[in-house]
């Protein structure tokens, strides 16, 4: 029996299994009730008395090594199952829903595409700005209400013992200023981006929103050029039957200035609650760039002229998708966002 035990010990040390089925077959062969080791233990009673001590010790050693070897093979299989590089245990459980573009992104991209087809390039700038680019070079008076803390977010910064006001930009016109500072006409750009104003949050106002502003500066640019661009934009965005009208207005950085209305795309200009029964809806402000702004940015206002326009992306999205509450755009309610899956 000693020889058989030694033979089995050598055999167990070399046991291998390619899969779980083979491992189970080995366990049954050596450790089950009808396995080889149990048969040897059952035959232990026939061992001569003088050999029982040695044979018993060898049988226990055989059983322990067989159990340890099969347990080691089992651990190896389990570690191979869990140590996979392509499994991320932190990711969301399946099925993972497909995302969709945000409605503001859809509208912004459509606006950019329309102006790109008219020759405008995209220009971007910092959201954290200074008073010089947000107000001073745009011809805002020193006592203009927009400079008050009730309207603009200010951050006081002490830089090398010089205190200066840092601003969260209240419009993307600051990007126009930076573009005119670093380039000479012709300049034809649109400036999309997020802006901030110190306003109470409600269904019709928010402390941050998004704008797209446009600027064209060159020789002999006229108000007629501006009107044609605005008409083309309105008809591309809201339909070929859309009409526009321009009403006199005032902005510090344009002269003359105007606000543009479009014929209500809900009632077709006949009058409804959305347009307050006027048949018209305001969508943007515009005007000819004030000569003071051109001069402040290093462009000779006696040689060049230009126009500027600006609109709120949320406003356009409201008209296009009839969203009545501005807060929905920033609350990340997936039920609201799923409504725009077909708009991709």
Is-contact 4 40, C-beta < 8 A?
A: yes
Classify residue 184 by its DSSP letter. Answer: P
Burial of 148 (0-12, 13-18, 19+ CB in 10 A): exposed
Rounded percentage of the chain residues whose pLDDT exceeds 70: 91
Give the DSSP letter string of 96-111: PPP----HHHHHHHHH
Q: Is the pLDDT of residue 162 over 50?
A: no
- Per-residue pLDDT, 271: 81
**Stretch among 103-117, 147-161, 320-334 having the lowest mean pLDDT:** 147-161
pLDDT in tens, 10-59: 888 888 887 888 888 888 888 888 888 888 888 877 878 888 788 788 88
- Per-residue pLDDT, 294: 95
CA distances from 13 to 7, 54, 67, 94, 282 (A): 10, 21, 11, 43, 86
Q: Is the pLDDT of residue 344 over 70?
A: no
Reported confidence tier of residue 272, pLDDT bands at 50, 70, 90: confident
Token digits of residue 291 = 């000569």
Average pLDDT, the chain: 85
What are the φ/ψ torsions at residue 85 (nearest 5 degrees)?
A: -65, -25
Q: Which residue has the higher pLDDT, 160 or 180?
A: 180
Of 66-80, 177-191, 194-208, where does the model show the most confidence?
A: 177-191
255: three-class secondary structure by DSSP: strand
CA distances from 80 to 19, 66, 69, 84, 338 (A): 11, 22, 17, 7, 40
């Amino acid at each position: 029996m000693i020889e058989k035990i030694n033979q089995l010990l050598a055999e167990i040390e070399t046991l291998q299994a390619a899969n779980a089925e083979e491992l189970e077959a080995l366990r049954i062969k050596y450790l089950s009730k009808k396995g080889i080791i149990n048969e040897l233990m059952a035959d232990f009673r026939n061992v001569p008395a003088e050999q029982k001590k040695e044979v018993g010790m060898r049988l226990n050693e055989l059983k322990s090594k067989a159990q340890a070897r099969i347990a080691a093979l089992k651990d190896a299989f389990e570690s191979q199952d869990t140590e996979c590089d392509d499994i991320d245990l932190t990711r969301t459980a399946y099925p993972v829903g497909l995302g969709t573009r945000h409605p503001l992104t859809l509208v912004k991209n459509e606006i950019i595409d329309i102006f790109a087809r008219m020759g405008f390039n995209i220009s971007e700038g910092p959201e954290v700005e200074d008073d010089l680019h947000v107000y001073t070079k745009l011809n805002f008076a020193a006592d203009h209400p927009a400079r008050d803390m009730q309207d603009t977010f200010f951050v006081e910064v002490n830089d090398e013992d010089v205190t200066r006001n840092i601003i969260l930009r209240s419009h993307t016109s600051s990007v126009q200023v930076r573009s005119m500072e670093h380039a000479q006409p012709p300049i034809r750009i649109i400036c999309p981006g997020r802006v901030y104003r110190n306003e109470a949050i409600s269904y019709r106002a928010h402390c941050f929103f998004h704008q797209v502003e446009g600027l064209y500066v060159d020789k002999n640019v006229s108000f007629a050029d501006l009107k044609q661009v605005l008409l083309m934009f309105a008809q591309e965005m809201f339909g070929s039957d859309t009409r526009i009208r321009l009403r006199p207005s005032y902005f510090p950085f344009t002269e003359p200035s105007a606000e543009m209305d479009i014929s209500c795309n809900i009632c077709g200009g006949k009058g409804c609650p959305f347009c307050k029964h006027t048949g018209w809806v305001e969508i943007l402000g515009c005007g000819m760039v004030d000569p003071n702004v051109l001069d402040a940015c290093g462009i000779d206002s006696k040689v060049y002229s230009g126009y500027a326009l600006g609109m709120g992306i949320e406003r356009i999205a409201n008209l296009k998708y009839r969203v009545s509450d501005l807060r929905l755009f920033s609350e990340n309610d997936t039920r609201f966002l799923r409504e725009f899956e077909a708009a991709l």
